[in-house]
A and B are shown apart, each in its own frame.
Chain A
Amino acid sequence: MGRVFVTGVGVVSPVGLGTEAFGTALRQGKEATAPITGFDASGLDRDLACEVKDFRPREHMTAAEARRAGRCSAMAIAAARMAVRGAGLEGEAAGPRTAVVMGTTMGEANLLGQLESRWIHDGEEKVPSAALPRYGTTLLPIHVARSFGARGIVQTLPAACAAGNYAIGYAADLIRAGRCDRAISGAAEVIEKLQYAGFARLGAIAPEHCQPFDKDRRGLIVGEGAGVLMLESEESVVRRGATPLAEVGALGLACDAHHITRPHPEGEGSIHALRTALTGSGLDPDAIDYVNAHGTGTDANDKVEAQVLDAIFGDRQPALTSIKSMIGHCMGAASAIEAVSCVLTLNDGIIPPTINHGETDPDCAKLDLVANEPRTADVRALLNNSLAFGGYDAALCLAKPGVLPEVGA
């Protein structure tokens, strides 16, 4: 069981494309929340979202790639290209030993929505047959693998709002198990009308802002985008003399088996996920300098997450932030985009703020929230936390290279 390193990251986010724009925006506390432009949201009682507005696929890919891919896959390809390029592997990521593992909640849901709208209003014969295969739930890693000549494992793990952690942590497991040498892994999601309407009907969407851990929080703001990490085995990194940006520790997983949309009231599964991420990485809670919170801004999530962090860290709480206050809840892509943010923090020593913060919820009072202004800190090891629809709990440990103890030592 060898070590696994992050050698490149890529991101398509509501506050910027590419790590530089993304990192700068996060440090400045830039918020993407704005009225929806992608579809007519009138009549849905809510009309705000964090959309990716300046994404033009042709700036990131060939004409053929752009024609084949829907918006979700196009974002995945763009983020993957940034990660592969950043790793210095452009033109060298090909072959059967490169895996592509992608997470999502609904994949090309907007393509399906368009096809169904056409079918419902204009009749089946008006739906072009050639458009049908572009909606396939498995297409994200297929498109990405094709872009880089990867010829091995292509997998989609639709783990809802924990999908990024699932994909990245599992891809690292595959490398450790010797199933591949490199993995392009992450997640992508797009905002789609039906999905938005569903969240609105569940009463989950905030009317103005996402305010994680605030006593006046009123829900989440839906976001979209893609985050991709280039993962490599230690051998691959050493062989080509690459400079790793981070080391991937353990993925902790659990399932609540409690409720399809709500978290377990005591966060039992989430506690197990965080604990196993720590033990699997050979770390004590004290070694964690920072937690990227799931922090959706819903009443239930933030209260449970605060309890969970209390159970794990007690009186020594690590710094905590929810960048969902800025970029919204990018659903399946959330924990992948947040993993990119985590890698930036490990490298620049700046923890982005949780913006829109007024007064902390008394239930969350123990937390060391990085409120409203960024914080400079030497973050050596961190946890990226996520909870998801279906009762999924996933936490991933990321660290500066060399910080994690020898696996199995």
Chain B
Amino acid sequence: MDLVITSLGVVSPFGVGRAAWDAALADPAKATEAAIRTTSEVLDNEALPGARTAECWGFDPTEHLGKRGHRTFDRLTKFLIAAAKTALIDAGLKDGEGAFREGAPGPDRVGICSATAYGSLDAITELNLVAELEDPRFINPSRFPNTVVNAAAGYVSIWEDLRAPNTTVVDGNCGALDAILVAATHLDVGRADGFLVGGGEVVSEPLYRALARLGVVGPEGKGAVMGEGAAYLYLERRAGAEARGASVLGVITGYGTAFAPPESEALLVHGSADAVERACRDALAEAGLEPSDVDVVATAGSGVALIDTAEGEGLRAVFGEATPLATPKALHGETFGASGAFGLAAGLSWMNGAPVAPLLQGEAPSSVRTVLVSTIGYYGNASAVVLQAP
């Protein structure tokens, strides 16, 4: 695999755009402090005391989408559009006014591969509340599209006029990395010249309550911090980027994925060390690298013991005890389906000199040229991607 990254559009607790992301990652301790709070703008703080979230604090859609045309969009759609917009401009495909530039791939040649794990849950709950407590006939038809999981990426295509294939990927926490495989496949077949690849996730009350019941998220010391945001990388072939003189931020050179179920037939939730190990080995093999070539692993570590333990076991089987293992989610929370894209975003910052912290093992490298991003799902799947400096 040889896909170049020519931009990163990111909506995070640190703000909108790559500059805000890079600035925050330059000081990891301060980033954590800024991102993670117990005073939610989304959840009922009285009913959920101590709930930790890393929200896109103060996100104002009108700053990025203008004043009109997005009233019925859900929060995820607004995040994705803001991320897409900055990614398309930064990649040099569009000018500051949002028009496609001459000489760059046009609307017919740019597509979207977008991941989410729980994207439509909030809208489904909103309409279910109306249907159950009032009357199904009172469901607002303009909000109904948000209940369909591919709606958010569909709205991005309309807003940004992207007519090449639009693919939503739902693979739990592995979605954004798996979206890279989808984009690579579409590019091989010639369906487009480039793709916005990544995903988004939002903090919502029903999701928080459900995951808190399962111990996946919770107050200090209990599970992960629920994060949110959106991240899109613009991915294209090297020749295309060179032809239009785009600067390359990084190169994706390997991908791997695997699945292994729990041994017990009675179990469903499962973190698989075996899947992590095989995903990493396949990604490295495709990149033509040895484990020792990797400067740092962006792990999926989030504070969910069952899952973190399995990932750690799988990673140590591949990398041993010396390779630095970092946990970028300590800075910005768990973004589930989008987390692979945030892992890559962290990798790009590290390659630009941001300190690699916090670390589960190893010592911070003096310079970062090669990053492996690891993701692990809650049902036995795992995916990994190798990111290299240009």
Q: Does B168 contact A154, Cβ atoms closer than 8 Å? A: no
If A152-B258, A154-B171 touch, does A258 touch B131 (CB 8 Å cutoff)?
A: no
Q: Does A375 contact B (CB under 8 A)?
A: no
Q: Does B239 contact A (CB under 8 A)?
A: no
Q: Chain A contacts of B213 at CB under 8 A?
A: 124, 127, 129, 132
Q: Chain A contacts of B186 at CB under 8 A?
A: 253
Q: Does A406 contact B (CB under 8 A)?
A: no
Q: Does B124 contact A158, Cβ atoms closer than 8 Å? A: no
B147-172 CB contact bits vs A (8 Å, 1 = yes)?
11111011101101111111111111
> Of B127, B260, B381, which is within 8 A of A198 by CB?
B127
A106 to B144, CA, bound (A): 13
A227-247 CB contact bits vs B (8 Å, 1 = yes)?
000000000000000000000
Most chain A beta-carbon contacts within 10 A, residue among B147, B158, B165, B175: B165
Q: Chain B contacts of A276 at CB under 8 A?
A: 191
> Of A96, A116, A150, A259, which is within 8 A of B206 by CB?
A116
> Of A109, A113, A254, which is within 8 A of B163 by CB?
A254
Q: Does B147 contact A174, Cβ atoms closer than 8 Å? A: no
Number of interface residues of A (CB under 8 A): 78
Q: Does B358 contact A (CB under 8 A)?
A: no
A389 to B34, CA, bound (A): 38
A166 to B112, CA, bound (A): 14
Q: Chain A contacts of B131 at CB under 8 A?
A: 193-194, 197
Q: Does B117 contact A150, Cβ atoms closer than 8 Å? A: no
In the complex, identify which listed stretch (B80-88, B135-143, B246-254) lies at the interface while the others stay far away. Answer: B135-143
Number of interface residues of B (CB under 8 A): 76
**Contact residues, A144-191 vs B (CB, 8 A):** 145-146, 150-160, 166, 170, 173-174, 177, 179
> Of A43, A113, A201, A390, which is within 8 A of B141 by CB?
A201
Q: Does B189 contact A (CB under 8 A)?
A: yes
Rounded to whole Å, the gap between the CB of A49 and the closest CB of chain B is 15
A367-406 CB contact bits vs B (8 Å, 1 = yes)?
0000000000000000000001111100000000000000
A201 to B182, CA, bound (A): 34
Q: Chain A contacts of B153 at CB under 8 A?
A: 390
> Of A106, A120, A159, which is within 8 A of B128 by CB?
A120
**Contact residues, B259-291 vs A (CB, 8 A):** 259-261, 265-266, 268-269, 275, 278
Nearest-neighbor residue (CB-CB) of B278 within chain A? A96
Rounded to whole Å, the gap between the CB of B70 and the closest CB of chain A is 12
If A145-B259, A260-B158 touch, does A177 touch B185 (CB 8 Å cutoff)?
A: yes
A162 to B129, CA, bound (A): 29
Q: Chain B contacts of A254 at CB under 8 A?
A: 163-165
Q: Does A392 contact B171, Cβ atoms closer than 8 Å? A: no
Q: Does B268 contact A170, Cβ atoms closer than 8 Å? A: no
A158 to B153, CA, bound (A): 11
A306 to B129, CA, bound (A): 40
A116 to B209, CA, bound (A): 12
Q: Does B259 contact A151, Cβ atoms closer than 8 Å? A: yes
Q: Does A133 contact B158, Cβ atoms closer than 8 Å? A: no
A145 to B186, CA, bound (A): 24
Q: Does B132 contact A (CB under 8 A)?
A: yes
In the complex, identify which listed stretch (B20-28, B313-321, B372-380) lies at the interface while the others stay far away. Answer: B372-380
Q: Does B168 contact A157, Cβ atoms closer than 8 Å? A: yes
A347 to B380, CA, bound (A): 38
Nearest-neighbor residue (CB-CB) of B265 within chain A? A64
Q: A151-B260, A257-B161, A389-B145 are in contact. List 11 more A-B contacts (CB 8 A).
A: A116-B124, A117-B132, A138-B171, A156-B170, A158-B168, A174-B181, A179-B185, A193-B136, A390-B166, A392-B150, A392-B166
Query: Which 8 pairs show the lowest CB-CB distances between chains A and B?
Result: A390-B154, A253-B165, A197-B136, A64-B265, A198-B144, A255-B166, A158-B149, A201-B141
Can you pick out 29 interface pairs between chain A and chain B where the beta carbons lie within 8 Å of each other?
A67-B266, A106-B149, A107-B170, A129-B213, A138-B117, A138-B377, A157-B170, A158-B148, A158-B149, A158-B170, A159-B167, A179-B185, A194-B127, A198-B141, A200-B136, A201-B139, A255-B112, A255-B154, A257-B158, A257-B161, A260-B151, A261-B145, A272-B108, A272-B163, A389-B148, A389-B151, A390-B157, A390-B166, A391-B154
